[in-house]
Amino acid sequence: MALTLLVGGGRSISSLRDLPFAAESRPALPLRVITHNIRYAATDLFEGERPWSERAPLVLNQLQHEVRHVVPTVATGDLTNASPSYPGAFICLQEKAEPASGPVWKHIGVGRDDGKRKGEYSPIIYPVQLLELLHHETSIRLFTVGVFEHRRTRRRVLAANTYLDNAGSESRRESVAIILRTLQRVHGKWAAGGNETLGIVLVGDFNSFTTQEAYVAMRESGYLRNLHEEVALMARYGDIITFTGFGPDQHKDEQGGIDFVWLGPADKPGAESISKPEGYAVLPNLFEAGVYLSGHRAVVGDVTLL
């Protein structure tokens, strides 16, 4: 499951409420996005993989740490007994992170198998106190798109999450073409009527190294740019490799950077004035306890909508 956590605003909820707003000069909006391919409650474990009940608290702690300055969530349940009966890891995490005062997070995206709750997900989780969902759609091949509006500033962003086929090269290439057409269509609709500065953030597991078909097709389209390549060297943190497997000797030929954050649209004059890359990080997925959070490392992107 390729999870995306979309957080609008680089300040706390209370301070964002005090931001001045003028329709003629909308304030810049800091945006943080986290993408993490989380292996859920599998019955056949890889060598080195611990049960979901052991990994879930660690995954949740990491996610909450990365958004604590914006959305102060507190886990209310005991994740050590997290049940595999949940339809997806993200629902389990979302429900356990809700405070007693009411919902903080919502999600969009559906299960691949039945278009509802069964199978793999590519969800987008977003903070409802900060962002309002204006539009969303999901394709059959794990591609979720949403248009969100920041409640205080009325700034909008088009966010998308994908998880490309890990088996077929041609399938990944075709999926990139579908993704680009969808983003262009949705952006064309929602950028009209005074929203020409609508920024795009696409994240997910491409199952493609930077020399392979899916990545190359996305880069050569000219429509999006890789955040990692756009930020200054001193604004990068962590490893290059995002897929590690559950051990140093596992899937050696497949280990590498395959999870990406893309910004756009980059094919129009003045595109650099839509968003400003601020930071990029690949978080660790193995700690002293010897438990891998997942076979992938989470990737964090920071960008300011101008």
pLDDT digits (tens, 9 = 90+) for 212-254: 899 999 999 999 999 999 999 999 999 999 999 998 777 677 7
Strand (E) or helix (H) holding 105:
strand 105-108
| Domain count along the chain | 1
In one letter, which amino acid is 270?
G
Q: Write out the two tokens for 266.
A: 């980059």
* Counts for the chain of helices (H) and strands (E), in that order: 6, 13
pLDDT digits (tens, 9 = 90+) for 84-127: 444 445 555 555 555 555 567 888 887 776 666 666 778 888 88
> In angstroms, rounded to a whole number, what is the distance separating the alpha carbons of residues 136 and 110?
11
pLDDT digits (tens, 9 = 90+) for 142-198: 789 999 999 988 899 999 999 887 666 777 888 899 999 999 999 999 987 666 679
End-to-end CA distance of the chain: 31
Domain holding 285: CATH number?
3.60.10.10
Asked if 280 contacts 231 with a C-beta cutoff of 8 angstroms, the reply is yes
Q: Write out the two tokens for 26.
A: 């909308």
Structural domain containing residue 192: 2-305
Rounded to two decimals, the pTM is: 0.85
Please state the rounded mean pLDDT for residues 10-36.
61
